[in-house]
Amino acid sequence: MAMTVKAIAESINIMGKRSGGAMKERNPGPIQEMAREETDAGASYLDLNIGPARKDGTDLMPWVVETVQEAVDTPLCLDTTNTDAMAAGFKVVKNKTQAIMNSISVQPERMEALIPVAAEAGCDVIALLWGPDGMPRDSNERAAMAVDLMMALNEAGIPNEKILFDPIGTPITLGADQIASGLEFMMMLPDIAPGAGSTVGLSNVSNGVAEHLRKYLDRTYLIMLMKYGITTAIVNSYDEELMAICRGERQELVDLVHGMMDGNDPDPSTLEGTALEHYKTYKALSGQTVFSESWLEL
pLDDT at 298: 85
For position 47, which CATH number holds? Answer: 3.20.20.20
Q: Is residue 137 part of a domain?
A: yes
If one counts the domains in the chain, the total is 1
- Separation CA 188–CA 183 (nearest Å): 9
**Residue numbers of the domain that contains 148:** 6-250
245 within domain boundaries = yes
Query: What is the tens place of the pLDDT at every residue in 61-109?
Result: 999 999 999 999 999 999 999 999 999 999 999 999 999 999 999 999 9
Whole-number pLDDT of residue 2:
86
Q: Is residue 50 part of a domain?
A: yes
Q: How many angstroms separate the CA atoms of 250 and 278, rounded?
A: 12
pLDDT at 1: 77
218 found inside a domain? yes
Specify the DSSP class assigned to residue 235.
E
- Domain membership of residue 273 (yes or no) is no
Q: What is the pLDDT of residue 190?
A: 98
Q: Which long-range contacts (CB under 8 A, 24 or more apart) does 134-139 make?
A: 135/168, 135/170, 135/178, 136/168, 136/181, 137/181, 138/181, 138/184, 139/181, 139/182, 139/184, 139/185, 139/188
Q: Would you call 88 helix, strand, or coil by DSSP?
A: helix
**pTM: predicted TM-score of the whole model, two decimal places:** 0.98
- Asked whether residue 262 is domain-assigned, the answer is no
Residue 269 lies in a domain: no
CA distance 266 to 18: 42
User: Which residue ranges in the chain fall short of pLDDT 70?
Assistant: none
